[in-house]
Amino acid sequence: MENAVLCEACQKNAMNVVEDTDEPKQPYQLCQQCHKRLLNNSLRPIEWYRLAVLHSPKQFLLHDDFYGEDGQAFLSEGDVIVTKEDKAPTLQDVRQDLASLLDFSITRWFLEADVIDALKQHDQQRILDSVQNRFNETQHIEVKSRMLEIAADVLGTSAAGWVRELMIQTDKELLYPLSWATASSLPEDEGLQHVLEKLTSISEKELPTDAFICMYRFRSNKILDWMESACTHFHVH
Ligand SMILES: [Zn+2]
């Protein structure tokens, strides 16, 4: 077993099956048994959790048609036997340990107040370092996105340097969460200018929705003026 890569789900057996995810560069790497359970929608909660940490719970075969937020399988044909060791951790289990807490945050469908509060108990600089590392290590957009949401909701101005850098490099896929992080970490005029620049590449049809989602966290009167002039299809429902 020396040098063997372990299965991402059980973390016991050697990995010997690769199954596609939405991200070609980061497929599932599993043992045969876990692979079978993945395809049968019958992962144990802890197996679901470990895969969700790496690939996000929005990934095909992990998403909420098949599993609850605690990793319980909904559609499995036989009952999934869950012993104590097979349970996924709760927020209470992970809140003291930053790495485990970040894992947990990725497995949630939304970044909610209880997780934000738990994160705020940790050192800002350590959070920033960890969040940047995870952002760089993953290929999955959903995981990157969650790291940016943490920058937006937990880090604020302490993430300014990082967010500024990303605003220059990053493409459209991460525009929403990056805009939210921009709104909370950069000075307002600078932040708005970055976002408006990004919005110039959006089609006229998509612009009203994208502009709203990207800018609602800014509290500037300039936004309404801009909306009126830029979005000819802007309707208030
Ligand atoms: Zn396995």
Q: What is the mean pLDDT of residues 31-43?
A: 96
pLDDT tier at 233, thresholds 50, 70, 90: low
Asked if pLDDT for residue 4 goes beyond 90, the answer is: no
pLDDT in tens, 182-204: 999 999 999 999 999 999 999 98
User: CA 81 to CA 194: how far, in whole Å?
Assistant: 51
Residues 148 and 177 sit within 8 Å (Cβ to Cβ): yes
Q: Which residue has the tokens 């705020």?
A: 120
User: CA 114 to CA 101: how far, in whole Å?
Assistant: 11
Among 193, 202, 135, 133, smallest CA distance to 164 is for 193
| pTM, entire model | 0.91
Kindly list the distances between the CA atom of residue 219 and the CA atoms of 31, 180, 188, 214, 222, in Å, as whole numbers in the listed order: 50, 12, 8, 12, 9
Share of the chain above pLDDT 90, in %: 78
Q: How far is the CA of 17 from the centre of ligand 1 (A)?
A: 9
Q: How far is the CA of 41 from the centre of ligand 1 (A)?
A: 14
The most confident of the ranges 169-178, 184-193, 224-233 is 184-193
User: CA 236 to CA 46: how far, in whole Å?
Assistant: 44
- CA 135 to centroid of chain Cα atoms: 9
User: CA 229 to CA 1: how far, in whole Å?
Assistant: 64
Q: How far is the CA of 7 from the centre of ligand 1 (A)?
A: 5
Q: How far is the CA of 86 from the centre of ligand 1 (A)?
A: 13
Q: How far is the CA of 147 from the centre of ligand 1 (A)?
A: 27
pLDDT tier at 82, thresholds 50, 70, 90: confident
Kindly list the distances between the CA atom of residue 94 and the CA atoms of 28, 64, 114, in Å, as whole numbers in the listed order: 24, 22, 12
